[in-house]
Structure 1
Amino acid sequence: MYIITSQQSRELDKISGNEFGISGETLMGNAGEKIADTVLQNYQNLDKKNILIVCGKGNNGGDGFAAAAALAEFSPQIYHIYSPKKFKNDTLHYYEECIEKGISILFQEDPSELKKFDLIIDAMLGVGISGKVREPVAGWIDWLNRQSAEIVAVDIPSGINADTGFFSGTAVRANMTISMGFEKTGHHFFPGKDSSEEVIVADIGFPKIDNPLSGIQWRLFDRELPEKILIAPPKDSYKHGQGKVLVIAGSRGMTGASILAGKASLRSGAGLVKLCAPNSLSPIVESLFIEGITLPCEDNGKGYFRERNFEEIEKELYWCDSLVIGPGLGSEADTKYFILKVIESCKKPMIIDADALRFINGHISLLPDNCVLTPHLAEFSYMVNHPVYYVRENFIRVIEEFMNDFSGTLVIKTTPVSVVFNDIGSINISGNQGLASAGTGDVLAGCIGGLIAQNIAPPDASKLGVYIHGKAADTLVSETGYRGLTATDVLNNIHKVIKEYEL
């Protein structure tokens, strides 16, 4: 199922009119009919309910007027926030049709003294909103949220960014959202997902187009992917055939990151995992990483990698089937040169995570297409030279710009996590807020590395790893709660998720 952005929505409107001769007025009328049909199907005894439709000045408001016209027999009450002088042509057309049908229409900026309604249709802002909601709409949104009525949003709850699900200030909390033509990405990213509640797609007559719309083509994670890939290994499998992972991780104070990443690679099915860590960490690594191979690198007691360590691990870059680099490496300047040397020399698929991400800024276009980057939003903001708040509010746009220079796979920790490769974006369907805990990212990096080592293509391994990681967390919260969920809990549940598909 395709999911579109606000820009793609506007592009689809233009294609409908310019190439297929479908007018905006026709689409708006169809939208009104579909809104009315959906309301009738989901709410009983409308003739006994007080219905309110709150309309803005743009196309979203026009859809509200068109819906009112289609629901005329139920005597809906319309309030519009802006003067009709500000209405666009199509919106004005359905506003006038409502007048002709004798529907009660009032212009009111302040909703403070309204009677009680049973059903409210939110048609104020739609997909065009970005930034903070201003008055008078903000006041209306707050009023709607205080009502006990059922709220149905047109296209997307007013205040929610249709791309990112973000809102600034306030946003409508709907019980149902009727989306025109396609779901919007903002329906699936939090907090927009919560505000949208149940999303119903209305076919309003958009044409079927042969060529994709501009930008990234978004869709939800394919539930059939694990069923196709996570089948039981051949009965004559052996450890070298199950994939070899090299993990370069850890520094003094962050030894746990290396252990978590290494064990996650094993738990996801890799046959052999070799963990490279500074030698002074060896007593901890050797005692905890008993199923894997360890390669201590001389650090003269400093507790971090130095550029000279490259010579010790260079041959391992040829041995492995995948490389995980970054968890817990720290920020020492000497470590930076070590990391860059490893990345520049490795020809195998790489998962670049955590501390390694801070050192690749300026080198993005040089990374190979078998490379996987796994930043959270703060790390990503550093990589793209934007403030974190800007990335959080505009990550769809920022991702599109970033992918113009990066040919590999981006696993970006939006909520839920997104995986992007070759203009295809996958929105994960598992995971919860309990994953906001130290070490869970190290587990994810190791899981993806273990899957890639088993000859699963990096984009598919990334989507699978994210899904498995999230589902491992989802099946634990009934026992641990959200606050009590740890990275070790997730690590020790990975195999149970994979088992569901193997057996």
Structure 2
Amino acid sequence: MPNRSDPLVITPALLRDWALPVPSGGKEARGTVLVVGGSRFTPGAVLLAGVAALRAGAGVLQLAAAESTAAALSIQVPEALVVGLPETSDGALAGRPDDQLTELVAAADVVAVGPGLRGIEETRELLHVVLDAAGPRTPLVLDAYALGALSHSPELLAGSGRPVVLTPNITEAQHLLDREPGDDLDAEAAELAARYDAVVSLYGHIATPDGRSWREESGDAGLGTSGSGDVRAGLLAGLLSRGADPAQAACWAAFAHAVSGQRLVPQYGRIGFLARELLDEIPHTIATV
């Protein structure tokens, strides 16, 4: 087992020795991913995360987003069941209990919360609804505003034993740590994993609550583009849905996200490709490890 000061570098060889589950049978064998997120002004984040989950191998996709965007999302992602949720006057998800959302969460195999959400108080209420409805062994991916909400209520996860992956950027890590992150992101990921009792994927620095750690070193500047984090969160959810455990899913997702970006460099250069262009590269990247 690697220690906190000595993360393993994620390589194709490492991943080949840690092969992803290959479910047999129909789409149900690859699980149902539910993405909860968006607002009146950010439905694209839900689209990116949802399609990434399908590209990573999820069998069934469901999207729960702001009701004003549901019709457009259902047309843009015809593969998904799309459910509109109540909004506040400024277009954020309202966060109050909703019978339809509760039923979807309870039935999902993986729930991703956060892409495109707005309003920290509304998101905190929404996170409570999801955690209350989800089974204790249902894998969760928390991203974006869901991480800000979690920073105000760390007791929601600490000691729960839930299979959870957190995907903070530097700003979100600052909120979760309640301080500026230092330069050693391996150490910061390890501290977050221990504090929140969750697997943490921080810019390719991955840590588990039991002290294991890995580092993905092939990511480049082009991944720092709008929507890229939504793709990574959905990728993670899709890998969890097909049966990967949280640490395995985090490592594979970090690699697939980074290498999918590399595959776009010959066409677009190191910067300038779009997050949605990562989506079509994901299946080939995973398949050719």
Choose which of 403, 415, 420 in structure 1 pairs with 2:193. Answer: 403
- Residue 325 of structure 1 pairs with residue 113 of structure 2: yes
Q: Counterparts in 2 of 1:207-356, with a 5 A limit? A: 215-227=4-16, 228-230=18-20, 233-234=23-24, 237-299=25-87, 302-331=90-119, 333-347=121-135, 348-356=138-146
Deviation (angstroms), 1:343 = 2.9
Deviation (angstroms), 1:324 = 0.5
Q: Which runs of 5+ in 1 are unaligned?
A: 3-211
Change in CA separation of 1:301 and 1:272 when aligned onto 2, cut-off 3 Å: farther
One-letter identity of the residue aligned with 2:140? M
Q: Highest Rg: 1 or 2? A: 1
Structure-1 separation of matches of 2:243 and 2:260: 22
Q: What is residue 360 of structure 1 aligned with on the other side?
A: 150
Deviation (angstroms), 1:231 = 6.8
Deviation (angstroms), 1:218 = 1.5
Q: What is residue 465 of structure 1 aligned with on the other side?
A: 253
TM-score by length of 2: 0.90
- 1:263-292 deviation digits (Å, cap 9, x = unpaired): 000010100010001111123212211111
Structure-2 separation of matches of 1:500 and 1:315: 37
Tell me the SS of whatever aligns to 2:124.
helix
Structure-1 separation of matches of 2:279 and 2:53: 10
Q: Counterparts in 2 of 1:469-488, with a 5 A limit? A: 469-488=257-276
The question of whether the paired residues in 2 share the 8 Å contact of 1:340 and 1:360 is answered with no
The question of whether the paired residues in 2 share the 8 Å contact of 1:353 and 1:374 is answered with yes
Tell me the SS of whatever aligns to 1:393.
coil
The question of whether the paired residues in 1 share the 8 Å contact of 2:186 and 2:206 is answered with no
Q: What is residue 429 of structure 1 aligned with on the other side?
A: 217
One-letter identity of the residue aligned with 1:380? A
- 1:195-229 deviation digits (Å, cap 9, x = unpaired): xxxxxxxxxxxxxxxxx6xx454111153354342
Change in CA separation of 1:274 and 1:259 when aligned onto 2, cut-off 3 Å: same
Deviation (angstroms), 1:230 = 4.1
Structure-1 separation of matches of 2:188 and 2:57: 34
Deviation (angstroms), 1:334 = 2.8
Q: What is residue 377 of structure 1 aligned with on the other side?
A: 170
Change in CA separation of 1:403 and 1:286 when aligned onto 2, cut-off 3 Å: closer
One-letter identity of the residue aligned with 2:207? V
The question of whether the paired residues in 1 share the 8 Å contact of 2:36 and 2:113 is answered with yes
Q: What is residue 451 of structure 1 aligned with on the other side?
A: 239
Structure-2 separation of matches of 1:293 and 1:312: 12
Structure-2 separation of matches of 1:278 and 1:428: 34
- 1:366-412 deviation digits (Å, cap 9, x = unpaired): 4134011000111101111113xxx1434444444333323220011
Deviation (angstroms), 1:255 = 0.8
- 1:94-126 deviation digits (Å, cap 9, x = unpaired): xxxxxxxxxxxxxxxxxxxxxxxxxxxxxxxxx
- 1:306-357 deviation digits (Å, cap 9, x = unpaired): 1324332111122111110000011253333122332344231100001111
The question of whether the paired residues in 2 share the 8 Å contact of 1:373 and 1:411 is answered with yes
Structure-2 separation of matches of 1:369 and 1:424: 17
Change in CA separation of 1:300 and 1:337 when aligned onto 2, cut-off 3 Å: closer
Structure-2 separation of matches of 1:372 and 1:299: 27
The question of whether the paired residues in 2 share the 8 Å contact of 1:298 and 1:309 is answered with no
Q: What is residue 412 of structure 1 aligned with on the other side?
A: 202
Tell me the SS of whatever aligns to 2:151.
coil
The question of whether the paired residues in 1 share the 8 Å contact of 2:182 and 2:188 is answered with no
Deviation (angstroms), 1:252 = 1.6
Structure-1 separation of matches of 2:198 and 2:191: 14
Aligned residues: 282
One-letter identity of the residue aligned with 1:383? L
Tell me the SS of whatever aligns to 1:241.
helix
- 1:442-477 deviation digits (Å, cap 9, x = unpaired): 000000000101111011011101111111111110
One-letter identity of the residue aligned with 2:171? A
Higher relative contact order (CA 8 A, sep 6+): 2
Change in CA separation of 1:407 and 1:334 when aligned onto 2, cut-off 3 Å: closer
Structure-2 separation of matches of 1:470 and 1:452: 18
Q: Which runs of 5+ in 2 are unaligned?
A: none
Structure-1 separation of matches of 2:30 and 2:187: 38
